[in-house]
Amino acid sequence: MNPEFHTYKNPSLAVDLVVFGYHRQSLSVLLLNRKDAPFKDGWTLPGGFLQMEETLQQVCNRIMRTKIGIENLYLEQLYSFDAPQRDPRGRVISIAHYTLINPERFEIIAGKMANDVQWFPVNQIPELGFDHTEIFRQASQRLKSKILYHPVGFELLDETFTMTELQALYECILDISIDRRNFRRKILDAGFILLTGSKREGLKNRHPDLYKFNKDLKQNSFQLNISSPQ
């Protein structure tokens, strides 16, 4: 082994997670209430330190498993945050990621952690510890641009969904309103959803078509050109 190797101390390596959940037409983020200093009793993003043999993906899954009880998520690396004073305990570099989950598919652990973990709507995020407010801000921005060229809804919606439900997701993430008829055309042109043939029953009005994501899609990228009316 190279003699230069591992002879000086390294900064610690951590991962912080922005966990987006979509539920009842509202986009939320999972926050952790800290029981220890620093930022005791304050809210932060869930996170953890990287062990020697772990990959980044494995750390993310471990954090989700132990703190929230789920794993195997859609995961995207966001950015590395390296300000020397970002953690008052010492030098920690954090490689932030974000994930998308459908809260209805999982029960957020109801045990000892129940009071420590909470969903916050993205427009009601409290002041966060460390530099996590900035991390959250960047994750929101990334998600907004990602949804325009990648079928993000896969992870956030149920197996089947109506066009209106899909539109509500886009309006929520992009924080704009979209013309119903133009949205339909653009999404269908993009080609990543398919008609299932069945319809959603039990509504007051006309039963809308149910769609599903096209999992066999070759080209997983497109260019949506979505804009607000007026």
Question: Nearest to residue 26, comparing CAs of 97, 106, 124, 163?
Answer: 124
The burial class, CB within 10 Å (0-12 / 13-18 / 19+), for 126 is exposed
The burial class, CB within 10 Å (0-12 / 13-18 / 19+), for 23 is middle
Q: Which does 181 bind (CB under 5 to 8 A by kind): DNA, a copy of itself, none?
A: DNA
- CA 6 from centroid of its chain's CA atoms: 35
Which CB sits closer to a copy of itself, 56 or 125? Answer: 56
Q: What are phi and psi of 44, to 5 degrees?
A: -145, 170
- Please, are residues 201 and 207 in contact by the beta-carbon 8 Å criterion? yes
Residues 194 to 223: which contact a copy of itself by CB under 8 A?
none
How far is residue 24's CA from residue 120's CA, in Å, rounded to a whole number? 13
Query: Among 39-47, 89-97, 176-184, 197-205, which window interacts with a copy of itself (CB under 8 A)?
Result: 89-97
Question: What mask of x and - would describe binding to DNA in positions 182 to 201, judged by CB under 7 A?
Answer: x-xxx------------x-x
**Is residue 209 a contact point for DNA (CB under 7 A)?**
yes
Question: What mask of x and - would describe binding to a copy of itself in positions 18 to 57, judged by CB under 8 A?
Answer: ------------------xx-----------xxxxx-xx-
How far is residue 213's CA from residue 196's CA, in Å, rounded to a whole number? 10
Rounded least distance, CB 118 to a copy of itself, Å: 23
Q: Which does 227 bind (CB under 5 to 8 A by kind): DNA, a copy of itself, none?
A: DNA
Residues 64 to 83: which contact a copy of itself by CB under 8 A?
77, 79-80, 82-83
Q: Which residues bind a copy of itself (CB under 8 A)?
A: 1-2, 5-6, 8-13, 36-37, 49-53, 55-56, 77, 79-80, 82-84, 89-91, 93, 95
